[in-house]
Structure 1
């Protein structure tokens, strides 16, 4: 291939762009994103991510991220997007419900590629200048491990069962195989020169690796990690993507300004599709109907219709688009808290104590968000609080309330609260107690009321005849003792 073209590709593909003055993306107000299929495209010179709505191929949002974003990956549930910032040595986390950056995670030196495990629990990031892979735990977005790999790691892909990770080492002309159970390298596979992009077939049987210097694609058999085929591609093959049915592999040829289509049944190139100038990242829609290709020089994304492999649309995006990933943003889920209030007895008795039991249930389709959940009770006249408590709750008598912040899953209950009250001697015959629950990410207030009847203390009855003094004493039943004959 041409040396000048290779240099341009490596500048974009490996992100060796230190010293460039990059423009700053302007933040926009966060808006709710409707459910649907979206393509997320990194713009390396804009420090941004363009969000394309695939239903009409319009850019609906531009998200500012870190310095020189390269690769992008979406969690399996579509809730979050992870973006590698190659010059910022970090990973931005985007929340897809409103397309806002909710976290920035420090990574290794020169992070470029990213892949997420099928269960969404871990994110693997290749650090091209650190010769390592960072492992991020998604539950708290912390780096829990750093794995040494080959020379200049670039691409990364995970098998569908999540057991193995394949990492291309550009300068080492090899692929490192990482066992995710303990994050150790268990194999190193020689491949064609300049391996960059990598993808695994949906059945996990094969791995396709684009060799930018070799102008070919290596096919690795995962059962024994051997190269079983080498497929000639276009000029400067850079990235690869496999269709959901595993029938075809799409390869961007960065110098040839085209996309090669490989038929996996016999590993032959069946088509070559002209696209924009210097195509980079490539991704397939979940239904397999379309392929999206980022064109670096044209600042655009080409949309290929897979039924006939023709370009059906070209979408303007930010400056120097590099990476692309496609995912389904789900219908937003929200918590809904319901408060139930009962008394432990049918009636309250004046001058004594009574108790209420209060239970908070999440009846929504989403968990609470970790913000404070507060139960507040306002007692009616005639009742005075004695105690308010429940496992995991922090309660006070003034004001009469309890709070907690742990996340409550849909359909689950918090431990019940017990409110003990003293019933005044002059309490009315009937009282209605009202309590509310708020917070946890809910917008509505749930109110629970309970009406209770109040009765007087029962008067102590006179002791029965046989319990009266003198009854049962000796002589009680003798004449003149105890009962006398005749009317009483």
Structure 2
């Protein structure tokens, strides 16, 4: 979520409206616990045999029953195997990226970048980290081998950044411009700008075959379904909650469902992406924001920014099984899982800090002071064959 004045006003208005209506809204407009869970639990990870007719140019689906099968602990691509392990933290108010050594929990560098860096995004080919300087209208490349920043590339309103599964295009989430901008993945030259009638396009994830992706629109409480090859919006739906503010999007390991965090509804929308019908809802905690898959594909970590907690969702059981509270509170936001799967790294958006959390016990291992407004931090390198963008969606 951006931090411009306009965005803050929009977000505050939406939150105030939603909170006012929580006690007065009709039963039909409020998410209920008895409507929350999927009718069928996703299959447990296993060796798939069926073939997936993927987007031309996209790598084959390694295991249709587990889209994250290439993300196992320390299963690093040869491209990144020699890269030093680092945590890159964009500080939106300080216009810097803090670099942390995850072994020592020490800051080893501070990189000046453009105005209001929002996310640090691994490129499709895994060779570059792109810093999204939203108000600076630029992308700063960082070489993850050396940790050095290169010359910024002019890109208007790059709030967030994704890559099509075939590696051809970068998709810029131009939130304030109300556009999805398809650009050449290497030169960043515009190929097609797709207008969006919703407000605040921000996060996304792709279908198993890569032929479409789901996008959240935080300021109008809507979601989009976009055809990847045609670069065309196929469908648009308003979430069934007044004042909804959808954030991060993640697909289930079996590829059947999309999970969409909602900061104001305080939980997850559960969507059948193929059918794009009315989603179900699952309450997780105040300010649900970021979604991260465990290295064994069995759990999903949900950061509840408004209450300083992390909920744990079990895919096989199709329910929440744990909730971890940060000692002394905090504002857990965006991040990623370490290469070995043992640590969940999250930025503390409103506390100028970063949290390292043990994924086995939920214990806070470290709390590191960084710049002001830390947001979409990237743990790098991570396992996987290629990156779909954001702070690290790997397949």
Larger strand fraction of residues: 1
Q: What displacement does 1:249 show?
A: 1.8
Contact 2:164 2:228 (C-alpha < 8 Å) held by counterparts: no
User: Which 5+ residue runs of structure 1 have no aligned equivalent?
Assistant: 1-12, 20-32, 331-488
Counterpart CA distance in 2 for 1:34 and 1:63 is 21
Structure-to-structure mapping, 1:215-364, within 5 angstroms: 215-275=266-326, 276-328=329-381
1:129 to 155, 158, 176: 176
Aligned to 1:45: 93
Contact 2:207 2:273 (C-alpha < 8 Å) held by counterparts: no
2:162 to 94, 97, 115: 115
Q: What displacement does 1:48 show?
A: 1.2
Counterpart CA distance in 2 for 1:145 and 1:199 is 25
Which is further off, 91-100 or 44-53? 91-100
What's the secondary structure of 2:259's corresponding residue? strand
Counterpart CA distance in 2 for 1:287 and 1:122 is 29
CA RMSD of superposed structures (Å): 2.7
- Note closer, same or farther for the CA distance 1:227–1:94 as it changes in structure 2 (3 Å cut): farther
Contact 2:334 2:376 (C-alpha < 8 Å) held by counterparts: yes
1:327-367 Cα deviation digits (max 9, x unpaired): 3189xxxxxxxxxxxxxxxxxxxxxxxxxxxxxxxxxxxxx
The two structures have a TM-score, normalised by structure 1, of: 0.57
Contact 2:332 2:347 (C-alpha < 8 Å) held by counterparts: yes
Contact 2:354 2:370 (C-alpha < 8 Å) held by counterparts: yes
Counterpart CA distance in 2 for 1:207 and 1:186 is 16
Aligned to 1:165: 213
Q: What displacement does 1:291 show?
A: 0.9
Contact 1:78 1:329 (C-alpha < 8 Å) held by counterparts: no
Aligned to 1:177: 225
Contact 2:257 2:271 (C-alpha < 8 Å) held by counterparts: yes
1:139-179 Cα deviation digits (max 9, x unpaired): 22222221222222122233454332221112322211111
Counterpart CA distance in 2 for 1:153 and 1:212 is 15
Q: What displacement does 1:88 show?
A: 1.4
Greater RCO (Cα-Cα under 8 Å, separation 6 or more) = 2
1:219-258 Cα deviation digits (max 9, x unpaired): 1123322355311011111222222433222222221111
User: Which 5+ residue runs of structure 2 have no aligned equivalent?
Assistant: 8-80, 384-395
What's the secondary structure of 1:156's corresponding residue? strand
1:93-131 Cα deviation digits (max 9, x unpaired): 22222223324333344x322223345443222122111
Contact 2:194 2:232 (C-alpha < 8 Å) held by counterparts: yes
What's the secondary structure of 1:97's corresponding residue? coil
1:455-484 Cα deviation digits (max 9, x unpaired): xxxxxxxxxxxxxxxxxxxxxxxxxxxxxx
Task: Give the greater-gyration-radius structure (CA).
Answer: 1
- Note closer, same or farther for the CA distance 1:202–1:317 as it changes in structure 2 (3 Å cut): farther
What's the secondary structure of 2:159's corresponding residue? strand
Counterpart CA distance in 2 for 1:103 and 1:161 is 34
1:148 aligns with 2:201: no
Aligned to 2:46: none
Q: What displacement does 1:54 show?
A: 2.7
Q: What displacement does 1:280 show?
A: 1.7
2:250 to 171, 175, 199: 199
Counterpart CA distance in 2 for 1:329 and 1:259 is 21
- Note closer, same or farther for the CA distance 1:248–1:34 as it changes in structure 2 (3 Å cut): same
What's the secondary structure of 1:205's corresponding residue? coil
Q: What displacement does 1:18 show?
A: 7.4
- Note closer, same or farther for the CA distance 1:103–1:165 as it changes in structure 2 (3 Å cut): farther
Contact 1:79 1:329 (C-alpha < 8 Å) held by counterparts: no
Aligned residue pairs total 305
Q: What displacement does 1:58 show?
A: 2.8
What's the secondary structure of 1:124's corresponding residue? strand
1:72 to 98, 117, 120: 120
1:97 to 145, 149, 174: 145
